[in-house]
């Protein structure tokens, strides 16, 4: 697996380094890990004054101040990593490097959320999601897990997006440790709106409680059923969790209650509309949860 870790020396990027160090099983398979520092370009007027040589030295010095401590931390943990720097706007540069190096996973620490601006994950993270189709693991305000084996929530809803999340996990299960627990999460409707008026105009339910439960179970089986055999054949430890209500709220609440280490979600394909790139459920989870979020994008075409 090729992993790209953009860092900027902040507390958030330190979480990325800590997460990499915690992946004992993955590291045992000798993944390719590259740290990236993106330096903002010096204005052309100033760059013309100092000359190319001095400018290159400046960029290297600035990037080294971020990269060298991270490389040393990884080395002390027994992790080999390469380091590089690039000059340009952060998000497009990260995406270009990821594509050029055929990266399998981008791990990013993300700054806080700003729902009013649509930047729930920070502007750089939002833009990276909008510009590329490569899976992105977003680490928020949560420290890296201390255990190699993770508790992984997988959002499945019967769509190709849920299938994309499952397929990624089945192909890259080393990322989650030697003995992870996979929680197949599906949120069904409460069918509270299924009512009809009686003669007095009162809203009455059209189904009994047992009928509602039967419909919920049917919907759950349709979403989760196709993956039971695949996980079983791999010998994975799985738990099937049926939640009721709003998908984003319920998944976020369950992740907090059960202390899941990461939520894996497939979402709509990448595109120009940064604020909407995640889709409503993932956006809601990003807005209210600090659980790390692994986004697997499934292009619509």
Give the residue extent of every domain in the chain.
2-298
Per-residue pLDDT of 140-185, as tens digits, reads: 777 778 899 999 999 999 888 899 999 999 999 999 999 999 999 9
CA angle 185, 250, 270 (to 5 degrees): 70
Specify whether the CB–CB gap between 289 and 116 falls below 8 A.
no
- List the Cα angle 222/228/233 in 5-degree steps: 155
> Which is more confident, 103 or 196?
103
Cα(10)–Cα(95) distance, rounded to whole angstroms?
20
Model pLDDT, residue 48: 58
Q: Which two tokens stand for residue 298?
A: 């499934």
What pLDDT band is residue 114 in, cutting at 50, 70 and 90?
very low
Q: How far apart are CA 37 and CA 79, in angstroms?
A: 18
Q: For residue range 14-61, list pLDDT tens digits in order.
A: 889 999 999 999 999 999 999 999 999 887 665 556 666 788 888 999
Report pTM. 0.87
Asked whether the predicted pLDDT for residue 275 surpasses 90, the reply is no
Q: Which residues of 210-231 are buried (b: 16+ CB within 10 A; e: fewer)?
A: eebeeebeebbeebbeebeeeb
Tokens matching residue 90: 């952060």
CATH architecture, range 2-298: 3-Layer(aba) Sandwich (3.40)
Q: Is the predicted pLDDT of residue 120 greater than 80, yes or no?
A: no
pLDDT in tens, 179-224: 999 999 999 988 765 544 555 555 555 667 788 888 889 999 999 9
Q: What are 117's two structure tokens?
A: 């601006």
Confidence of residue 273 (pLDDT cuts 50, 70, 90): very low
Alpha carbon of 296 to those of 128, 161, 193, 261: distances in Å?
Answer: 13, 8, 32, 17
């Amino acid at each position: 697996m090729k992993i790209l870790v953009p860092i900027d020396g902040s507390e958030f990027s330190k979480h990325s380094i800590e997460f990499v160090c915690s992946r004992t099983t993955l590291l045992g398979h000798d993944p390719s890990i590259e740290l990236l520092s993106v330096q903002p370009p010096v204005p052309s007027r100033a760059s013309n004054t100092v000359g190319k040589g001095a400018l290159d030295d400046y960029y290297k010095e600035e990037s080294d101040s971020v990269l060298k401590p991270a490389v040393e931390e990884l080395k002390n943990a027994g992790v080999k990593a390469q380091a590089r720097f690039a000059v340009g706007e952060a998000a497009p540069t990260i995406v270009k490097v990821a594509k050029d190096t055929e990266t399998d996973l981008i791990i990013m620490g993300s700054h806080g959320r700003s729902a009013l601006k649509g930047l729930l994950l920070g502007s750089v993270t939002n833009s990276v999601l909008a510009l590329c189709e490569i899976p992105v693991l977003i680490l928020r305000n949560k420290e890296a897990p201390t255990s190699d084996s993770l508790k992984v929530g997988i959002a499945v809803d019967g769509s190709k997006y849920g299938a994309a999340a499952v397929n990624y996990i089945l192909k890259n299960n080393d990322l989650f440790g030697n003995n992870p627990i996979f929680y197949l999460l599906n949120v069904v409707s409460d069918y509270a709106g299924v009512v009809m008026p009686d003669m007095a105009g009162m809203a009455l339910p059209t189904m009994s409680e047992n009928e509602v439960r039967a419909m919920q179970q049917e919907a759950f089986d349709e979403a989760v059923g196709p993956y039971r055999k695949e996980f079983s054949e791999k010998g994975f430890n799985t738990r099937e969790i049926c939640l009721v209500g709003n998908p984003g709220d319920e998944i976020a609440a369950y992740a907090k209650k059960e202390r899941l280490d990461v939520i894996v979600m497939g979402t709509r394909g990448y595109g120009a509309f940064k604020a909407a790139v995640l889709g409503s459920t993932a956006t809601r989870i990003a807005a209210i949860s600090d659980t790390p979020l692994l986004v697997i994008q499934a292009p619509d075409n």
